[in-house]
Structure 1
Amino acid sequence: MSPLSLRTLNRTYLDRQLLLDRAGLSPLDAVRHLMGLQGQEPDAPYVGLWARLADFRHDGLTALLHDRSAVRAKLQRNTQHLVDAQDFRTLHPLLAPVLGKARQGAFGRAIQGLDTDDLVRAGRELMSGDGLTRPQLGRALAARFPGRDSLALAYAVQSLVAHVHPPPSGVWGRRGATPLVLAEEWLGGPMARRPRIDEVILRYLAAYGPAAVRDIQAWCGLTRLREVVDGMRSRLRVYHDAAGRELFDVPGAALADPDRPAPVRFLPRFDNLVLGHADRTRVIDDEDRRRVIIGSEVSPVFLVDGFVRGIWSWRDGTVEVTPFRPLAPDEAAAVREEAGGLLGFLRGPDGTGATGRRATAATGAVLIG
């Protein structure tokens, strides 16, 4: 079989990320398909779903948070995600080694010598019921473990105890303190006892494949998955890219036509599309990646012909578009049209933007730099 071209990988990835045609899925089905949406920025999942779904409205996601069908919590790569509640029960115990890195890393020395079981019991007791914010949790823990740094104690408990951030955390346009509540209490059930990594890998490939082992590892934060994937070979389709790297996929999953048109799309900060692989060249070249990903920050991007072409921002009612290279006239027209739709969405259902400030017709605009 011929190697998969870059454009084949690009169009296939866009298709599976629901970015070639806006899908008719419900918000919950989309969140399930994508195995969660990056949620460091509370409003980002809303913009991510707007880019992917037909007729998506803000309250479609807000309702999921309030009825506990979806939750916001730390998961893949120890970062905030908005994820289906049932998936959280599987992903949290599976990713426990990744989530525990905070305790072993920056705050390891600060809690050295403490009995982990005692710390977990105290944390669970304190977060039970209405829950606490991180500063409140830290102060309460410091009272029980005198002489220890309160922030280190709070972070350690967060890394050890399954918890979620209930609304209004994660709700469109809401800012403020982020509460921590016990996941089992919020969801009304326990975490999965024996999560299946192979099932998670199959679902990852359905939304992100074809992908290499190191791509799977970059997405979830787990390591040493080569043996797991090798054990799944009889259940996988195997391809190679132009560089000869081995790529795995779900059997029967279609590859997209490399010549299929790809519409302009605007994506939020930290979007899955940019962070879903170790090798990100299927959507962004290395030079542009260095402009988009700076330290721990990932800028909001827009796509032209399927690839990242620049970044954008939302300030004072204006969508400011900054291309990395000049846009052709037809490209500029398509960018302006899609940015106009984004502008309407960012104003929100009540005419206020994500910051809660009302965007007026006088200030609402699209500016292409």
Structure 2
Amino acid sequence: MTVAPRTLTLRELNRALLARQMLLTRRRVGVVDAIERLAGLQGQWAPSPYVALWSRLAGFTREDLTASIEKGLVIKATLMRATLHLVSAKEYAAYALATLDGRFAAWRPPGGPDLATLKDIHDRVFKFAATPRTRDEIREFISRDAPQDERLRNWYLFAAVTASGIIWEKGGARWEHRQLARFVAPPAKLRKAPKPDAAFDLVARRYLGAFGPSTVGDLASWTGCRVPPLREALGRIADLRRFRDERGRELFDLAKSPRPAADTVAPARFLARFDAAILGHDAAERTRILPAEYKKQVIFSAEVWTTFLVDGFVAGRWKIGATPKQAVLELL
């Protein structure tokens, strides 16, 4: 007899997300382990990963993440959704391969060249970045190959930076980074690409471990990848479980991942700018942590602002004002 998948309520999905995101209880795990369990950390704003880990890890200090960056254990690069993320060096190659097509296609103008057409340019950019290069230096380097149309020229630069395999120099991942980005080819040990199936399998498992239970559409939205290879990856997960949400949609999850009761106590927590807890699902499904009435106050003008949680859901924004003598935290 076939057993119908269990239906999960909004609050159950909320508590599951908080548990995966280490927002119910601060965890005592290392920085690299935490970043892997969280499927990477969003990094457009340099301090964001630090704030994110402070909210999630017991005893975390700024130096903990900085040391991991300096040792090359954590990499900053353009990955999911063609946005900046910090991932572990061990898993970087899998994320880079799985998200390549999505990164390349982002903002690609109609009629723009395909990835194979630009392979020669990207190979030369990769070699050029043997030493750290600024965006302007890369722009100048590819200028003879880029078309005259300004829009296409800008996209050629974007594609060269995001799809050629270069990463951010270590200094660009640190808390205090406020200067122009510098890009560099990754060390040789990170250049060996895994098999495509293995890359998608790792990304799918990490995603479900950090954001499940979720739809395949959520996974596609978060990665910026096409659905077919993601659906195939889900099909290869031996310990996959299926659920339904209150609208009857199919949700996927790892069998042993935590799914706390809806009435589990959720302490107040601060979320970083661009926090993955908010961005981990399709835009229409973020209500499992971001109430619809707050969406326009939190996500606008290509920004995802700092927020705080009360009873597991976004209840407002926060900001810090600083002077040489004091820092003032303001709740908005």
Q: Counterparts of 2:248 and 2:23 in 1: how far apart (Å)?
A: 27
Counterpart in the other structure of 1:299: 305
The answer on 1:271 being equivalent to 2:275 is yes
Alignment of 1:147-296 (within 5 A): 151-185=154-188, 187=189, 189-196=191-198, 197-225=200-228, 227-228=231-232, 231-232=235-236, 235-278=239-282, 279-296=285-302
Counterpart in the other structure of 2:103: 99
Q: What code does the residue aligned with 2:292 have?
A: D
The answer to whether the 8 Å contact 2:272/2:307 transfers is: yes
Q: Which consecutive unaligned segments of at least 5 residues does structure 1 have?
A: 318-357
Q: Counterparts of 1:304 and 1:284 in 2: how far apart (Å)?
A: 11
Going from structure 1 to structure 2, the CA distance change for 1:126 and 1:211 (only over 3 Å counts) comes to same
CA shift, 1:125, in A, is 2.6
Counterpart in the other structure of 2:60: 56
CA shift, 1:195, in A, is 4.6
Alignment of 1:10-49 (within 5 A): 10-49=14-53
SS at structure 2 position matched to 1:314: strand
Q: Counterparts of 2:217 and 2:190 in 1: how far apart (Å)?
A: 35
Counterpart in the other structure of 2:140: 139
Q: What code does the residue aligned with 1:190 have?
A: K
Q: Counterparts of 1:234 and 1:125 in 2: how far apart (Å)?
A: 40
Q: Which consecutive unaligned segments of at least 5 residues does structure 2 have?
A: none
Q: Counterparts of 2:107 and 2:118 in 1: how far apart (Å)?
A: 10
Q: Counterparts of 2:225 and 2:145 in 1: how far apart (Å)?
A: 33
Going from structure 1 to structure 2, the CA distance change for 1:93 and 1:184 (only over 3 Å counts) comes to farther
Q: Counterparts of 1:115 and 1:244 in 2: how far apart (Å)?
A: 43
Q: Counterparts of 1:152 and 1:366 in 2: how far apart (Å)?
A: 39
* Structure of greater Rg: 1
The answer on 1:366 being equivalent to 2:324 is no
Counterpart in the other structure of 1:116: 118
Q: Counterparts of 1:97 and 1:18 in 2: how far apart (Å)?
A: 30
Q: Counterparts of 1:268 and 1:245 in 2: how far apart (Å)?
A: 30
SS at structure 2 position matched to 1:168: helix
What's the CA shift string for 1:78-101, capped at 9, x where partnerless? 000011112111110111111111
How many residue pairs align between the two structures? 321
Counterpart in the other structure of 1:335: none
Q: Counterparts of 2:224 and 2:149 in 1: how far apart (Å)?
A: 29
SS at structure 2 position matched to 1:135: helix
Counterpart in the other structure of 2:10: 6
Q: Counterparts of 2:191 and 2:237 in 1: how far apart (Å)?
A: 34
The answer on 1:86 being equivalent to 2:90 is yes
Q: 280-289 or 225-234: which moved more?
A: 225-234
Q: What code does the residue aligned with 1:365 have?
A: V
Q: Counterparts of 1:253 and 1:188 in 2: how far apart (Å)?
A: 29
Q: What code does the residue aligned with 1:94 have?
A: A
TM-score under structure 2 length normalisation: 0.89
CA shift, 1:193, in A, is 4.0
CA shift, 1:142, in A, is 1.6
Q: What code does the residue aligned with 1:116 have?
A: L
Going from structure 1 to structure 2, the CA distance change for 1:246 and 1:314 (only over 3 Å counts) comes to same
Equivalent residue for 1:68, pick from 69, 72, 75: 72
The answer to whether the 8 Å contact 2:93/2:190 transfers is: no
Instruction: Give aligned-pair identity as a percent.
Output: 31
The answer to whether the 8 Å contact 2:320/2:330 transfers is: no
CA shift, 1:68, in A, is 0.6
Q: What code does the residue aligned with 1:173 have?
A: E
CA shift, 1:233, in A, is 7.2
Q: What code does the residue aligned with 1:207 have?
A: A
Q: Counterparts of 2:243 and 2:127 in 1: how far apart (Å)?
A: 50
Q: What code does the residue aligned with 1:117 have?
A: K
SS at structure 1 position matched to 2:196: coil
The answer to whether the 8 Å contact 1:169/1:178 transfers is: yes
Give the structure, 1 or 2, with the largest relative contact order (CA under 8 Å, sep 6 or more). Answer: 2
CA shift, 1:206, in A, is 1.3
